[in-house]
Amino acid sequence: MKKTNNATKTKSHPFWKFFWLTFLVVSLVYAWHSFYAPSNDIAWANNITSTQELANTNRNTLLFFTATWCSPCRIMKREVFADDEVMQVVNSEVTPVIIDIDNEDTKALVKQYQVSATPTTIIVDSQGNVLDYAVGKIEKEKFLEMLNNLNTNKQ
Read off the pLDDT of residues 5-40 as tens digits, 9 standing for 90 and up.
555 667 778 898 899 999 999 988 887 766 666 667
CATH no. for residue 146?
3.40.30.10
Radius of gyration of the chain from its Cα atoms, rounded to whole angstroms: 24
Question: What is the model's pLDDT at position 44?
Answer: 84
Provide the domain count of the chain. 1
Question: What is the model's pLDDT at position 48?
Answer: 75
Question: What is the model's pLDDT at position 49?
Answer: 67
Is 106 a member of any domain? yes
Domain that holds residue 109: 51-154
Side-chain half-sphere CA neighbours of 75 within 13 A: 13
In terms of Cβ atoms closer than 10 Å to its own Cβ (0-12, 13-18, 19+), residue 69 is exposed
Is 84 a member of any domain? yes
Residues with pLDDT less than 70, the chain? 1-9, 33-39, 49-57, 151-155
